[in-house]
Amino acid sequence: MSFHAVVPAAGIGNRMGSDIPKQYLRLRDKMVIDWSIQALLNQPGIETVTVALGNNDAFWPATRSAGNPRVKTVVGGAERSHSVLNALRALLSDAAEDDWVLVHDAARPCVAADDMSRLMQLASEGIGGLLGVPVHDTMKRTDAHANVIGTVERNQLWHAQTPQMFPLGSLHRALQDALLASVAVTDEASAMEWAGHQPRMVEGSASNIKITRPADLKLAGFYLAE
């Protein structure tokens, strides 16, 4: 089996309150996105990484990943789904439809190699799958005014993470068809679900955090130090 990776990195990340997109913030000795890409490049079996960048991205050339021959770039889109779709289209010119592709957030620098190995093994036994962690907290639903209107049963609820891994051709078709149908998909698994598939949930680690707020950067630094 052949494996490739896609990293959507065209977002700005307004919740960080920074002039610099979150994927380009410094984390220990390099940028956040370099940690995320390096984790993919270090994973046995992954041949290439395709990064979807914002138009006129001025930060990418300063990354350590920019000069790596296994890393390719494409122009991203307005939403994550558009960026991933652009990367998949580019990848289809070099890879086969039955190759596997792992889509990973640019701002998830702490993904563990063992978790990715388990995902690559278990998800490849079916239509694909994704990393996630079970919900342990009590879940509440509120109205538009933040008033609690109910408690949500947490059994069999998961926090979805990345990477999310699917056959290249199947994911490309699912995303393309969902966008043509104006279906809002927030991750790759939801596109595959809309197409009628049932992705496999593979338990990952709570340390595989997505950096969205300033406190997350400090926590990621702690996990990487460990």
Q: Where are the domains of the chain?
A: 3-225
Q: What is the pLDDT of residue 17?
A: 54
Burial string for 93-113 (b: 16+ CB within 10 Å, else e) reads eebeeebbbbbbbbbbbbbee
Residue 184 pLDDT: 87
pLDDT, tens digit (0-9, with 9 covering 90-100), for 118-136: 999 999 999 999 999 999 9
- Given this model, what pLDDT does residue 14 score? 57
Listed as ranges, residues in the chain with pLDDT below 50 are: none
DSSP symbol at 116: H
At the top level of CATH, the class of 3-225 is alpha beta
Closest CA to 12 of 1, 23, 28: 23
Tokens representing 166 are 């699917």
